[in-house]
Structure 1
């Protein structure tokens, strides 16, 4: 199971990522569109853990407009071990400072997150697929590159655990 603090993209950026997902799905490449009964939406995760308490996270981040107004430039494609394909977000000072502030507040409240999401280790990204078949990885990367660059504005944030039906929006 994975719980995450997700940042959601503006309508145009969301539409473009969903279009990419559909194109890949039509070519037999599974994406987040079909994972967990289509519960995912295009996002960038600021934090992730096996579980996150929505109330504890909301309390820790109270008064902070999480991600709202940040501009994200998705300029490259990346791959994590295990066939995970993603669109890379250029790590601007504003994004990294916001990420650090979120994690300082979570840590102060005793909310534990995975090390890979900690400041200094986090790779900001928008996941395209968790399981690209190896023979199709090259084609999937080319398809992603065709839609870049993509500039997005963060419009909302939520604590999610899609496997357990959790989607709790955060309000500032």
Structure 2
């Protein structure tokens, strides 16, 4: 994963994905997906390969003032376990996903009930009666497609 193939076709692909808005070089979501597909990597792996070369995913560009490339690489390589996807766990999962965590393992045996609607991040009228881990996983994938999510209906 760390070695970036040097073929002319892949160099051209990379060049077509870069957005030059000054320093640093930036790749948007579509470019990251095209690179991942072209390299046979996941989106998260492609982001790490690019970031290691000073090329920032556009979604994290505004974090440059407070997060170094090294720190973002560490976040994208990190795996976090969250026990419970309700009031606290769901909000925490969303914040971690937006901050750049690479993998979340979600554990919760419960389903969403109507009394959860006013306080739990991934509880909606559509998710009532559904397992919390599945609704949380699906919501996280919508906000951070690069994120690896494992949903386990386990009690911890």
Fold shared by both chains (TM-score > 0.5): no
Structure number with the bigger relative contact order (C-alpha 8 A, sep ≥ 6) is 1
The TM-score with structure 2 as length reference comes to 0.25
The TM-score with structure 1 as length reference comes to 0.23
Relative to total residues, which structure has the larger strand share, 1 or 2?
1
- Higher alpha-carbon Rg: 2
